[in-house]
């Protein structure tokens, strides 16, 4: 049966991307009925939406006191999923507060269907305590909330708050409607010869990137991890049909299609996000987590005191996320760690495997320019021995690793 979504478009510069979203959804055979808020009509016209949806477009001019208009409440019940994209800060606030002061918000309050909100706003509005409180409330209410992308914004600022690409939203809609994902057209050759989606129905958790450990409000401890390998693995898992949670440290990379991204800064935030994402069938910990953080991050910028001596910087050890999962009550069936080594690669990886309670350690030789580079020489170390792969592009390492994950999980019951 045809799946139907009700697409609520609220006002913001990103509203124009809803046209491309509608096109992609229709291409996947999903019927779309659109509702525009008054301010959204300044960015997209009902006419263009009507042409693309091949349906009536509902505006904001209804008087809900009229009985005939109460019927419009049914709009949100006839859909399989309600999608709010873009969801402005104002729209999210109204949703979190249960305010119903126009057709769009009335439909959201009246619906009995799952709701996906896709926020888009200025970086400062996104990070504002009020917005973050509203997001937490919406999640607690069971609303699916996509993470905004990072990048350059229409307002000229750079940071988090951009509407995710229409392909990523369409993939998330398909996932929530339990439709299979098509192979990523950008990925070139199909990855899997036997089945397109060997990880369908599985949850794969991936960590990626560095962590930043604050010293004071303007300084932090970091490392050179680019996040590329972890992002490639998350993308490959999504292409293989898995539900993917990608917990990412601070990196400048777009969210791969079909991946749920949770951005964090510190090791402790990463651990919290990883534990919140459990249970998972497989966890692949690719992040270069900082081993140490400052014992006490200063509230104010540290100043030189004129003595010529640097301020003392006592460090304490961070929690080990991989080792925590290794002995967790909800330990994933397959637990994979990465190890960056410069010497005795396989030997050190074997020790790490045992110490952290992992099933495999993907050991890479970082004596070259692996960090930030595009290829990787890896050895897969398990209790059964060592499998060494030739130097491969990071995308190919990701695809091969996910094939191996799929192979192992297919031998286990759901």
Q: Is 87 helix (H, G, I), strand (E, B) or coil?
A: strand
26 to 55, contacts with ligand CTP by CB under 6 A? Answer: none
Please select the residue that binds ligand CTP; options are 287, 335, 381, 405, rule is CB under 6 A.
Answer: 287
Tell me how far apart the alpha carbons of residues 95 and 122 are, in angstroms, rounded to a whole number.
19
Please select the residue that binds ligand CTP; options are 291, 297, 298, 389, rule is CB under 6 A.
Answer: 291
Q: Quick one: which of 293, 300, 298, 212 has its CA closest to 248?
A: 212
Q: Does 249 bind ligand CTP (CB under 6 A)?
A: no
Q: How far is the CB of 237 from ligand CTP (least distance, A)?
A: 16
Contacts of 323 (CB under 8 A, 6+ apart): 355, 356, 357
Region of residue 31 (left: phi > 0; alpha: psi -120 to 50; beta: else): beta
161 to 180, contacts with ligand CTP by CB under 6 A? Answer: none
Q: Does 267 bind ligand CTP (CB under 6 A)?
A: yes
Please select the residue that binds ligand CTP; options are 100, 176, 278, 340, rule is CB under 6 A.
Answer: 340
C-beta of residue 233 within 8 angstroms of C-beta of residue 207: no
Q: Does 321 bind ligand CTP (CB under 6 A)?
A: yes
Please provide the distance, in angstroms rounded to a whole number, between the alpha carbons at the two ends of the chain: 26
Helices 103-110 and 89-97: crossing angle, nearest 10°? 40
* 9 among annotated binding-site residues: no
Tell me how far apart the alpha carbons of residues 258 and 137 are, in angstroms, rounded to a whole number.
24
Q: Does 285 bind ligand CTP (CB under 6 A)?
A: yes
Nearer Cβ to ligand CTP, position 174 or 322? 322
Q: Does 251 bind ligand CTP (CB under 6 A)?
A: no
Residue 390 has what DSSP assignment? P
The stretch among 98-106, 297-305, 331-339, 368-376 that binds ligand CTP (CB under 6 A) is 331-339
* 192 among annotated binding-site residues: no
Q: Does 353 bind ligand CTP (CB under 6 A)?
A: no
The angle subtended at Cα 104 by Cα 49 and Cα 9, nearest 5°, is 40
Catalytic residue among 51, 130, 136, 155: 155
C-beta of residue 14 within 8 angstroms of C-beta of residue 152: no
The stretch among 8-16, 47-55, 66-74, 336-344 that binds ligand CTP (CB under 6 A) is 336-344
Binding footprint of ligand CTP on the chain (CB under 6 A) = 207, 267, 285, 287, 289, 291, 318, 320-322, 337-340, 352
Annotated binding site for CTP: 291, 301, 319-322, 338, 352, 356
Catalytic residues: 155
């Amino acid at each position: 049966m045809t799946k139907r979504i009700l697409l609520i478009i609220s006002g913001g510069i990103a509203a124009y991307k809803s046209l491309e979203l509608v096109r992609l959804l229709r291409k996947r055979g999903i019927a779309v009925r659109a509702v525009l808020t008054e301010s959204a009509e300044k960015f997209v016209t009902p006419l263009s939406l009507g042409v693309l949806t091949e349906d009536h477009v509902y505006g904001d001019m209804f008087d809900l006191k009229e009985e005939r208009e109460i019927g419009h409440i049914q709009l949100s019940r006839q859909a399989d999923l309600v999608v709010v994209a873009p969801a402005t800060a104002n729209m999210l606030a109204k949703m979190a507060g249960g305010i119903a002061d126009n057709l769009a918000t009335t439909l959201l309050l009246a619906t009995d269907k799952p709701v996906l909100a896709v926020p888009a706003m200025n970086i400062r509005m996104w990070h504002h305590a009020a917005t973050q409180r509203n997001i937490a409330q919406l999640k607690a209410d069971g609303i699916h909330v996509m993470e905004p992308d990072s990048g350059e914004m229409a307002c000229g600022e750079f940071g988090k708050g951009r509407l995710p690409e229409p392909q990523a939203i369409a993939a998330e809609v398909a996932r929530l409607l339990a439709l299979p994902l098509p192979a990523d057209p950008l990925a070139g050759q199909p990855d899997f010869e036997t089945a397109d989606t060997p990880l369908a129905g599985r949850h794969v958790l991936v960590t990626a990137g560095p962590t930043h450990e604050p010293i004071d409000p303007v300084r932090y401890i970091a490392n050179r991890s680019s996040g590329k390998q972890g992002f490639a693995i998350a993308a490959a898992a999504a292409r293989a049909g898995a539900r993917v949670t990608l917990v990412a440290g601070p990196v400048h990379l777009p969210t791969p299609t079909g991946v749920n991204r949770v951005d964090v800064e510190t090791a402790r935030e990463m651990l919290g996000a990883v534990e919140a994402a459990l249970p998972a069938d497989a966890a692949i910990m690719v992040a270069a987590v900082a081993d140490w953080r400052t014992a006490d991050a200063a509230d104010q910028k540290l100043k030189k005191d004129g003595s010529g001596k640097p301020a003392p910087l006592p460090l304490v050890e961070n929690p080990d996320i991989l080792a925590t999962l290794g002995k967790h009550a909800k330990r994933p069936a397959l637990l994979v760690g990465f190890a960056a080594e410069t010497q005795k690669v396989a030997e050190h990886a074997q020790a790490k495997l045992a110490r952290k309670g992992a099933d495999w350690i993907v050991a890479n030789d970082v004596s070259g320019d692996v960090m930030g580079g595009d290829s990787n020489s890896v050895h897969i170390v398990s209790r059964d021995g060592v499998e060494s792969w030739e130097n491969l592009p990071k995308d190919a390492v990701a695809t091969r690793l996910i094939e191996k994950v799929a192979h192992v999980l297919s031998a286990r019951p759901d």
